[in-house]
Structure 1
Amino acid sequence: MHLTSKLPEIGTTIFTVMSKMAADHQAINLGQGFPDFDPDPKLINMVSEAMKNGHNQYPFMPGIEPLRDVIADKVNTLYGHQYNKDTEITITSGATQAIMAAIMAVVHAGDEVIVVEPSYDSYVPAIRLSGGIPVFVQMIPPENQDQAFRIDWNMIADAITEKTKLLILNFPHNPTGAVLTASDFDALEEIIENTNIFLLSDEVYEHIVFEPQGHLSLSSRESLAKRTFVISSFGKTTHTTGWKVGYCCAPANMTTELRKVHQFMVFTVPSPFQHALAHYTKDASTYENLPDFYREKRNRLYEGLLKTRFKPYVCPSTFFLLADYSEISDLNEAKFSQWLTKTHGVAVIPVSAFYKDPDDPLSNHQLVRFCFAKKNETLDMALERLSSV
């Protein structure tokens, strides 16, 4: 039978393509963003204990109270905003599901949603499935290795129309590692002050920021928090990307609509993981020590790449590092990534894959993304191979 696709332009994600290529060619996978090391044994034991203690049936739809309580305390301590654990915090099946639920909760047919490029790949499909229209605004690429990508707020303002319903922000930024500053918040406040625009703030890398300022959450400003879905994830914080446990903090009226979608997408999230994460996250050191942990890995990869023909760029946050390959090849980013995987056995992700049109010259800056959330020996093996490129 004939089937008309709701997402005709969507194929297999670049992450799946490159990971399969890495496996096919026995390449070291520095592409997809997942650690190749285990989480804290204490956390694993806590999951086992939760199972033994009978937490194996459906938990409460919005998430168990102890975990929502821990999140409320953490956000208040770090960002100075007090969310109501009962009406404003929802545990989700990873950040991706929270993003989908938030978009579907507020976006109606014909609504416009501003997407900042390069952008994470789940945003646009969620917008289209909701009947919305993505409006793309490109970030300004760095002019040298000491700069990061940045937003031109005038371009954001110019993209706003009477149909604009939502603006999606993702900082700390994947794939570029860029972070927002207080002046960015000032500009954002001014732009949306007299509008009815909602914000979605994807902050899954909130605890992996290397700048002295730390992470600036949109929840830290009341004018922004009152219209924002703030989304984060335990996967990046606890090295458990496969557990798919995230959460969304938002005002009560927005949370009510999000939960209507959430309950019919997944209903709830595995009980033993929630109980384990509630106990584990009570200890603030489990996330406060992350910047130092990942800074060592970032520096290891950065300094290693300086000894190759790659030119690594500044990395303010996340566990991704961008590098310029212009001294090596004039191939576009996708073709270079495939060549590097096949020929030299190191898989990376082309930054162009995070744009609506990966083949457009404006989407290609001769940059690839390396993931350094790997064992030191994995990074060293990759650097050895890259030294011959």
Structure 2
Amino acid sequence: MARNHITPALRPFGTSIFAVMTGLALEHDAVNLSQGSPDEDGPDFLKEAAARAMRDKPNQYAPFAGVPEFREALSDWWADPGGRHADPGSEITVTAGCTEAIAAALLGLLEPGDEVILFEPFYDSYLACIAIARAVPRFVPLRREGDGYAFDPDELRAAFTNKTRAIMVNTPHNPTGKVYTDAEMRLIADLCIEHGVTAITDEVYERLTYTADQGRPHRSLASIDGMADRTIALSSLGKTFSLTGWKIGWAIAPPALTAAVQAAHQFLIFTVAKPLQHGAAEAMADPGCLAWVENLRVTLQSRRDRLFEVLTRLGFGATLPDAGYFITADHTALSDPLGIEDDVTLCERMTKEAGVAAIPVSALCANKDAGRSLVRFSFCKSDRVLDEGIARLERWFGGA
């Protein structure tokens, strides 16, 4: 028997569901509404700034914490509502996308046996990194409640123990699109303070929220009283500027927690592409930068609304997301007549037969039963691609 060379901690994970569904989409020439990868590139001014940096500046190693000019730009970019800026020299680390920031934060912080609280469903990288660290996950489910998702406060309280070292808070949330309420954030903060727990916040969709005009803007947990000194805030350039291939992310934390992040970061990748950091620093100082992001947000909101209307009309129990790239939808009413029992089967058949790929949400859950009725569709696509995906769904479910 051939030896299994994969470390036991990672054997349960297999290939990421995002790679699996993208591969299946390519194999069957399907419209790929599974992965959060835009098919329209980000702003020319950002790409041109990076090209100038590549041409005119040294292309050698950047400082391992990041190019100083980019960290200064991030300090201004991240300033919290109270006006507090992160110190570029001691509180900001540039990473290879948010995924590396997640790994650096968890690996730099955790010891074997430490417990980490996760809201379920979750981005799959969280659980894998916790496993590599030999830590123990504890799950708090997000359940459909009214027009959105919520957790049970008592279940969250019960998840905190004397072994809890960290809690992962992903807001805006992937895959549900939930923006956590002020009351939810205050409860999380109070429990972290009470139990001496560090919060690691994944905020990659921070600029792509659709609820600010309803009095529910994105708010970083770090901005809540008592949390600035116990939060590692993570985000990335890729989602905000539709440049996911650049893999530029960052971790913002007080010096003691930054030291933990950097202790792991230096041995994961050491440093991030220097010209891209210089280009990003220049572009983020451009007066048109925020205007471009706002235009993207408005465009995505329109595409969200269109896909939501179609999914609802077809019979999906879709939830209108507060933010981000994705719509999560209950498929039960549609799949039962087809004899489809779970999300994985539906996503496989949709990809092969309808020519549209989506993500089975059970792949983002430890409790597979919790996600088996849900699928995730991405709307971060061009109008042309989204139109084709919608047409294929209408044909398949209309005639299935």
Are 1:314 and 2:314 matched, yes or no? no
Instruction: Return 5+ residue gaps in structure 2 as ranges.
Output: none
Task: State whether structure 2 residue 308 is matched by structure 1 residue 302.
Answer: yes
Shift of 1:306: 3.5
Change (3 A) 1:381 1:78: farther
1:328 is paired with a residue whose SS is helix
Given candidates 227, 233, 237, the residue that maps to 1:224 is 227
Contact 2:233-2:253 at 8 Å conserved across structures: yes
Partners of 2:160 and 2:195 within 8 A in 1: no
Indicate whether 1:148 and 2:148 are aligned: yes
- The reply on whether 1:323 has 2:329 as its aligned counterpart is yes
1:337 corresponds to which of 328, 340, 347 = 347
Counterpart Cα distance in 2 of 1:118 and 1:251: 28
How far is the alpha carbon of 1:73 from its aligned partner?
1.1
Answer yes or no: is the 8 Å Cα contact 1:141–1:149 preserved in 2. yes
1:104 to 103, 107, 117: 107
- State the match for 1:384 in structure 2: 391
Residue 79 of structure 1 and its aligned partner are, at CA, apart by: 5.9
Which position in structure 2 is the counterpart of 1:90? 93
| Aligned counterparts of 1:318 and 1:172: Cα–Cα separation in 2 | 7
Q: Which residue number corresponds to residue 256 of structure 2?
A: 253
Which of the residues 32, 43, 47 maps onto 1:40? 43
Shift of 1:161: 1.1
Q: Deviations over 1:149-188 (max 9, x none)?
A: 1122221110111111111110100000011111112212
Q: Distance in 1 between matches of 2:71 and 2:14?
A: 36
Matched-pair contact (CA < 8 Å) for 1:115–1:134 = yes
Following the alignment from structure 1 to structure 2, what is the Cα–Cα distance between the partners of residues 351 and 85? 38
In 2: Cα distance, 1:56 partner to 1:27 partner? 39
Equivalent runs, 1:47-196 vs 2, <5 Å: 47-76=50-79, 78=81, 80-143=83-146, 147-196=147-196
Distance 1:182 1:8, change over 3 A: same
> Is residue 291 from structure 1 mapped to residue 291 from structure 2 by the alignment?
no
| TM-superposed deviation, 1:78 | 4.8
Offset of residue 95 of structure 1: 0.3
Q: Could you say what the CA RMSD is over the residues aligned between the two structures, in angstroms?
A: 1.6
- Separation of aligned partners in 1, 2:225 and 2:89: 19
| TM superposition score normalised by structure 2 | 0.92
Amino acid at match of 1:157: R
Asked whether the equivalents of residues 121 and 365 of structure 2 are also in contact (C-alpha less than 8 Å), the reply is: yes
Give the 3-state SS of the residue equivalent to 1:369 in structure 2.
strand
- Counterparts in 2 of 1:24-39, with a 5 A limit? 24-39=27-42
Give CA deviations for 1:257-314 in whole Å, capped at 9, x if unaligned.
2111111111110011101111111233243443212111112212233442334321
Deviation at 1:45, TM superposition (A): 1.2
% identical equivalent positions: 36
Distance in 2 of aligned mates of 1:255 and 1:349: 34
> Which TM-score applies when normalising by structure 1?
0.95
Confirm or deny: 8 A CA contact 1:307 1:387 kept in the other structure. no
Give the aligned partner of residue 238 of structure 1: 241
From 356, 367, 371, give the equivalent of 1:363.
Answer: 371
After superposition, the C-alpha distances for 1:61-104 in whole angstroms (9 at most, x for unaligned) are 11111111111112226563321110001100000100100001
Higher share of residues assigned helix: 2
Whole-Å separation in 2 of the counterparts to 1:35 and 1:78: 29
Cα displacement string for residues 342-371 of structure 1 (whole angstroms, at most 9, x for unaligned residues): 11110000111110143xx3332x221110
